[in-house]
């Protein structure tokens, strides 16, 4: 089955050349799993999309509109990866957002399983990226369309044995993976980097923080250094496609066996 | 005459939905004046586009390709604004740049005069933006498609009497205008902010640095504070659409008359 696209409810694989998503990266997006035709964690993804849009001043359609767009993809019953983009719409040249702009909704359904499904179950192999994330509180946490830092970081390696890269900020704090959020287990506490300066606060991360706390785990958003990561008893990454995965290796540091990741992965997927 | 667009040499106003320019802002661009059908400062714009593309690892077509694209706009003899975008092209989902991606070339010709042509000749009215630019050496100076900072800064005001906003970085250094570069005249020296952490090193700025030095001016790229700006004997902004314009007011600070701006504007336009 080919990749299927819908723009503002209409099937089609092209976009208006004046869309501000292209010109300025002026928009937000989501990437999620479709299971038996149903988007996983759908309500949470739509809520996060709306939160991100609000922070950029982009009016976000309500969930019924997205549900209709999803239906217009053809009611496909299978599995796959769904990407949703919301841009500020088209407008005249210039950075100034037009008040008359109508946001554009884009849905892209890829029925192929994500490449990460083939990653080893016993743990991932990570590297530390050279690129340092910039500190920008006005954009931190938002999954917006300005992703050149991630592109440049991902371009640093082409070794297929390396699954993910660790991103630090200019101050030396660990922020996230290139396409995932990070969790550190140590001394009976589950910690994840605070994302008030850079990074994307993903839905899987938010779910895990909530569900682990509800299950009695001590959880905390905090500053985390590379030394903290290396001292972890267990290191994990998560996103909406891979779920929660344990890290088996980061450079020379090896974590030979699971401590809490299996239980946490179960909480996340519940 | 309507706006005219060419994508990879073919007339059309739509773009492939899988273009990485949309998904990641993975591309670079130029905005310049067309005079009697000829792009102003064309060679310099193409050189800067190529430099920016190289920094992102995007193969840049050579000037003959751009010249052919320009011809395919229809050999329009008039004036207008030409915007050129070069994206990394289409590719599979994921941040990793595909080696097989073919860059996409987009030309948009707007025959309308830029709104800035109506700005007062005696000087512009500026404000200081609240948004602070992030420090990212890997992207500093490049005119790339990740422009959310500019969008958010430009959204801070809608007073038509304010022509431009001044952007500072998190460390308090003045970097540029939202859509222009900045020059400060004081004590017989022409200074402009160093752009190794943020900002766009525009063609007009580069030209003016070169031409002013050749004309015997003392010129310097350096750190500039807001206090330095307020202490300026003359303040100027420039880009490829507005040329060099003097600033008449920044908040309460007023500069009543031109000192060197008329001569420098003449050098830039020569």
* Contact criterion met (CB < 8 Å) for B96 and A155: yes
**CA distance linking residue A23 with residue A17, whole number of Å:** 9
Q: Give how many domains chain B has, as a whole number.
A: 2
- Residues of A in Cβ contact (< 8 Å) with B23: 29, 85, 145, 147
Which residue among A23, A131, A138 sits closest to B152, beta carbon to beta carbon? A138
Percent of chain A with pLDDT over 90: 91
The band of A141, judged by pLDDT with boundaries at 50, 70 and 90, is: very high
Residue A1 has pLDDT above 70, yes or no: no
Q: A43: exposed, middle or buried (C-beta count within 10 Å: 0-12, 13-18, 19+)?
A: exposed
Which of B124, B220, B221, B136 has its CA nearest to residue B178?
Answer: B124
Last residue of a domain, one of B62, B94, B113: B113
Which pLDDT score, from 0 to 100, does residue A270 have? 85
Looking at the complex, does the CB of residue A171 fall below 8 Å from at least one CB of chain B? no
Residue B232 shares a structural domain with residue B264: yes
Q: How large is the average pLDDT for residues A108-135?
A: 95
Contact B146 A150 (CB under 8 A): no
Residue of A nearest to B155 (CA): A96
What does the pLDDT look like over A151-184, one tens digit per residue? Answer: 999 999 999 999 999 999 999 999 999 999 999 9
Mean pLDDT score, B82-90:
97
CB atoms A136 and B134 under 8 Å: yes
User: How does DSSP classify residue B141?
Assistant: B
A201 pLDDT tier (thresholds 50, 70, 90): very high
Question: Number of A:B CB contacts under 8 A?
Answer: 171
Q: A62, A79, A113: which is the final residue of a domain?
A: A113
How crowded is residue B120: how many other Cβ atoms within 10 Å of its Cβ?
A: 11
Asked if A94 and A221 sit in the same domain, the reply is no
| Distance from the A170 Cα atom to the nearest Cα atom in chain B, whole angstroms | 9
3-state secondary structure of B58: coil
Closest to A176 in 3D by CA, of A192, A190, A158: A192
B22/A19 touch (CB, cutoff 8 Å), yes or no: yes
Please give the average per-residue pLDDT across B242-246, as a whole number.
97
Return the CATH number at A105.
3.30.470.10
**Residue A75 pLDDT level (bands cut at 50, 70, 90):** low
Distance of residue B165 Cα from the nearest chain A Cα, in angstroms: 12
pLDDT reported for residue A93: 87
Cβ separation A147–B5 shorter than 8 A: no
Q: Which residues of A100-118 are buried (b: 16+ CB within 10 A; e: fewer)?
A: ebebbbbbbbbeeebebee
- Terminal-to-terminal C-alpha distance of chain A: 29
Q: Which residue of B has its CA nearest to A85?
A: B23
Same domain? For A159 and A89 the reply is no
B250 and B142, same domain (yes or no): yes
B20 neighbourhood in chain A, CB within 8 Å? 151
| Average pLDDT value for chain B | 96
Average pLDDT over residues A116-129: 95
State mean pLDDT over A19-32.
98
Q: What is the CATH number of the domain that holds A121?
A: 3.20.10.10
Residues 31-60 of B with CB under 8 A from A: 31, 56-57
The pLDDT assigned to B3 comes to: 83
| A102 and A32 part of one domain | yes
Query: Domain check: are B151 and B241 in the same one?
Result: yes
- Looking at residues A239-251, what average pLDDT do you find? 97
Taking the whole predicted model, whether its pTM rises above 0.90 is answered as: yes
Residues of chain A with C-beta less than 8 angstroms from the C-beta of B108? 17-18, 93
Of the candidates B29, B81, B139, the beta carbon closest to that of A148 is on B139
Identify the domain containing residue A121 by its residue range.
Answer: 117-269
B152 and B164 fall within a common domain = yes
Last residue of a domain, one of B87, B113, B139: B113
Is 60 exceeded by the pLDDT of residue B1?
Answer: no
A146 and A265, same domain (yes or no): yes
Residues B64 and B132 in one domain: no
Q: Are residues A108 and A127 in the same domain?
A: no
A183 and A102 within one domain: no
Mean pLDDT of A200-211: 98
């Amino acid at each position: 089955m080919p990749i299927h696209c819908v723009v503002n409810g209409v099937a089609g694989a092209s976009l208006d050349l004046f869309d501000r998503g292209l010109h300025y990266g002026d928009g937000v997006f989501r990437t999620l799993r479709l299971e038996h035709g149903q988007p996983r964690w759908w309500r949470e993804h739509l809520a996060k999309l709306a939160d991100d849009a609000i922070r950029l001043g982009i009016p976000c359609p309500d969930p019924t509109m997205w549900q209709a767009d999803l239906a217009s993809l053809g009611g496909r019953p299978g599995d796959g990866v769904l990407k949703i983009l919301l841009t500020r719409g088209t407008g005249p040249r210039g950075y100034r957002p037009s008040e008359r702009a109508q946001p554009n909704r884009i849905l892209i359904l890829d029925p192929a399983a994500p490449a990460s499904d083939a990653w080893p179950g016993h743990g991932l192999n990570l590297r530390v990226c050279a690129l340092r994330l910039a500190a920008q509180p006005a954009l931190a946490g938002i999954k917006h369309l300005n992703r050149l830092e991630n592109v440049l970081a991902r371009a640093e390696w082409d070794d297929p044995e390396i699954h993910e890269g660790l991103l630090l900020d200019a101050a030396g704090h660990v922020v996230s993976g290139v396409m995932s959020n990070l969790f550190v287990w140590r001394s009976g506490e589950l910690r994840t980097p605070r994302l008030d300066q850079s990074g994307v606060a993903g839905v899987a991360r938010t779910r895990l923080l909530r569900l682990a706390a509800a299950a009695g785990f001590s959880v905390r958003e905090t500053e985390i250094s590379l030394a903290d990561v290396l001292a972890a008893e267990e290191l994990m990454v998560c996103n909406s496609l891979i779920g929660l995965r344990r890290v088996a290796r980061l450079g020379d540091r090896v974590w030979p066996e699971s401590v809490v990741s299996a239980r946490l992965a179960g909480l996340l997927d519940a």
